[in-house]
Structure 1
Amino acid sequence: MTKFFTHNAHLIESSKSINIFDYFTYFFYFLFIFFQVISNSSWHFFINLGDLASPLSRTNIFFLIVLFLISCLRDWNIKQFIVTMVLTFILLAYFLKYGSNLFSVFLVLVLVGMAINPVKLLKIDFYARLFSVLLIIFLSLIGILPKSGNAGSYTDFYYSVFLYGFTWSPILGYLILIIFLEFILLFKIKKSVLVATTILYVFFQLSIGYMTGIIGGAMAIILLFLSRHKFFNLPSLALLTYPFLFLVTVYVSIYYNSASSMWALWNDITSFRISIWQYYLQNWKINFFGNIIPDQSNIIGSTVPGHGALDGGYIFFLIKYGFLSIMIIYSLIVIVKYEYDNKIQKDISRNGFWIFVIISILTAFSETSSFLAYFSPFAALLGSLAFFNRDKLKIELEYRDKVID
């Protein structure tokens, strides 16, 4: 142990100095997620405190920029530097075309994720989302925010209904799904606790009618048990599922026929998403960088299917941000698969992370939420799993092992 301190003192001192900035990164990531969740609730309609009317508001963008700059105060390697240059160029190109936009935020969070250990990232995210959601629910229970009632007059969105301080049941439902996933994947819990938590989770999702949450939670439990068997390859499942669901989305959007009873059945099963996808695909063509689309969600009329509510991560990002956005997300998953095969990275990113990635991929078929920062840590997690400094991680592991010895 003395020999280790003697020969590696400069590495330990470097690690200690970086830890100060690590804590700032953790703190600002917590704040960013907190404000993202708050901005996705009814807060700004009833509480005049801060510019929190949208996840892309000036307050949120300010915290995102500060978070990114602080995350840059770390040890770098060549790979991180190259990836940062490439993704920064891409996100600036999207910013110049669209202004503040969801895909640029996605890319910034990938860059932020590089600075955070994946385990710590999900733990911070878990506590930030749990605290934020409980706060909004509490404010609705004491009457500061609405617990129920029609919200369309506030949001100009046809389907808006207040629910425990949020403006739509899928918003709260997906946030609860993410919190549930992080809880069962991060913490060592007894089977009895897992069963009780799952029952409560399913009961709540049933009470608000959010089937995506029920299916996503069920798939997570199934994958959790299957992952214990060596024959079940989670990384390969992720690599196959993403392009499969993307191609299925494009296929049904192109070939949907409202006159067919079979297509009508599938459209009904998907809550009329297919007809909405086709509407957008017919009006805005697929291209490399996407389209500038006027807001359709506030159009109350029969001319826009589903009142313009475009749900589905693959079709939303494809039409809005182009084929490049779809390819970048998939490329990040491929890189994570490559890093997963590294011995040190495998010790850190166990099967739990792949379960989270797979559930995000699956739910992206029907929901855009998994690709959006105010719903999920998916973007930051990909950045962490793919590019977190393995050299720094190796030093931390060696130091911990030596201290134990």
Structure 2
Amino acid sequence: MRKLDQKLLQIGYMLFVFVSVMSLSSWNLYFAKIINFNTTMIIFVLASLVLVSVISDWTITRIAAVIVFSGLLLVYFQLYRSSYILPVLLSLIVGTGFHVKTVLKCDFYSRLVSVILVVVLSLFSILPKSGYGADLTDFHFTIFCYGFTYANILAFEIAVLFVESLLVFKSKMGYQFLLVIIVTIVEIQLGYETGAVFCIVGYFVYYTTRQSSTKMTKIYLTAATLFVPIFTFISVYIAKMYSSTDTLWNSINDLLSGRAEIWQYYYQAMPIKPWGNLQTINQKTMGVVGFGAFDGAFIQFLLTFGVISILLLFFLLFLVTISKREIKNKRILAVLILPIVLSGFTETNGFLVTFSPFYMLISANLFSVAQEVSLESTPGTLTVSEEVK
């Protein structure tokens, strides 16, 4: 039974990643009538994984975590019905039935195959390779890039895959250093400097913790935890104090690619509340500052889903930092979490379940008692290794 539930979870997780990547592509703009990879499908797949994970091993800690996440899920569902906070909470529940290394390997192989599929579909003109697509989406920034609706989406996926590859493959440091240079150049060519920083930071954390350093790993996780309230405070301060008539603030706004003005716009329209704002801005309305873009995970979560969402992020990362779990697993989290948190100041991608295994990894590290399921060198081959004590 234990082997069966882990195999089903593995297959289900791979399906979830595939659906997630396809939802970020331009597929729904052309083939939605055939199959629509939308939020409803993502939630359905995650809910199915929750049911499968029920047959995994349970502890008091895992039961308590699931009760808390389920309670938050019910509250947010009552408030918002369909929203990207629901997949976040579902991912935290599902993660309690996984092992950290299982999530990492499943995510890497399924994400790699899914991204390559989208790119190949664009090369065969099934999906658009390039071109302006705002007339189809009513969103100003829709510019197709190898099957995806925006270059930053593909660039972020590449960044996540690069960092995951460092952890999945044990190649020589020389090859890894060459790879980080190549990927960084690709990120810059795609116009996504945040992705370049993501890759460099991920490689740096990986390199400095390669000897399973408990001290360095804890330092990085502590930094990521502290960055949550720090970046939230800075974002709110900028939103509150920004002045378009001040030269210094205009320079800061330029440095942040116009985000200071955008943050102020949303801050004034959506005041800070414990559970967020039921009334949000229609981002497709003409005249919206920034053409409806709202980047910056911390201020976006704060204004949209309230103080509770930020406290949840902080508390989860704090628990990861102080947990006594296996150092190798905590190192995996450090390598992925610190770049995601750093990029979250100006971006939102890493904090959405469709872009990274952020929540799955955190939940698996904190609450899972499942056996470790490994993927052999050939993707798709499933084996069960010794139980994690």
Cα distance, 1:376 vs structure 2: 1.0
- C-alpha separation in 2, matches of 1:384 and 1:53: 26
- Structure 1 residue 98 corresponds to structure 2 residue 80: yes
Q: Which runs of 4+ in 1 moved over 6 A?
A: 396-401
CA RMSD of aligned residues (A): 2.0
Cα distance, 1:296 vs structure 2: 3.1
Contact 2:87 2:353 (8 Å CA) reproduced: yes
Contact 2:43 2:86 (8 Å CA) reproduced: no
Decide which structure has greater helix share.
Answer: 1
Letter in 2 for 1:226: T
- Choose the corresponding residue for 2:335, options 350, 355, 362: 355
Aligned to 2:379: none
Distance 1:349 1:399, change over 3 A: closer
Letter in 2 for 1:262: L
- C-alpha separation in 2, matches of 1:75 and 1:383: 14
- Structure 1 residue 178 corresponds to structure 2 residue 164: no
- C-alpha separation in 2, matches of 1:241 and 1:400: 31
Instruction: List runs of 5+ in structure 2 lacking aligned partners.
Output: 373-383
Contact 1:109 1:380 (8 Å CA) reproduced: yes
- Structure 1 residue 376 corresponds to structure 2 residue 348: no
Aligned to 2:300: 316
Cα distance, 1:400 vs structure 2: 9.2
Moved more, 199-208 or 153-162: 199-208
Distance 1:222 1:347, change over 3 A: closer
Identity of paired residues, percent? Answer: 32
Cα distance, 1:399 vs structure 2: 6.5
- C-alpha separation in 1, matches of 2:30 and 2:312: 38
- Structure 1 residue 333 corresponds to structure 2 residue 350: no
- C-alpha separation in 2, matches of 1:226 and 1:240: 20
Distance 1:348 1:72, change over 3 A: farther
Letter in 2 for 1:103: I
- C-alpha separation in 1, matches of 2:328 and 2:202: 19
- Structure 1 residue 212 corresponds to structure 2 residue 194: yes
| Secondary structure, aligned partner of 2:131 | strand
Distance 1:310 1:389, change over 3 A: same
Aligned to 1:154: 136
- Structure 1 residue 145 corresponds to structure 2 residue 131: no
| Secondary structure, aligned partner of 1:349 | helix
Instruction: List runs of 5+ in structure 1 lacking aligned partners.
Output: 1-16
Aligned to 1:245: 231
Aligned to 1:80: 62
Cα distance, 1:357 vs structure 2: 1.1
Letter in 1 for 2:251: L
Aligned to 1:40: 24
Greater Rg by CA: 1
Aligned to 1:71: 53
- Choose the corresponding residue for 1:289, options 275, 285, 288: 275
Aligned residues: 374
Letter in 1 for 2:124: I
- C-alpha separation in 2, matches of 1:66 and 1:50: 22
Moved more, 196-205 or 254-263: 196-205
Contact 2:159 2:195 (8 Å CA) reproduced: yes
Distance 1:400 1:136, change over 3 A: closer
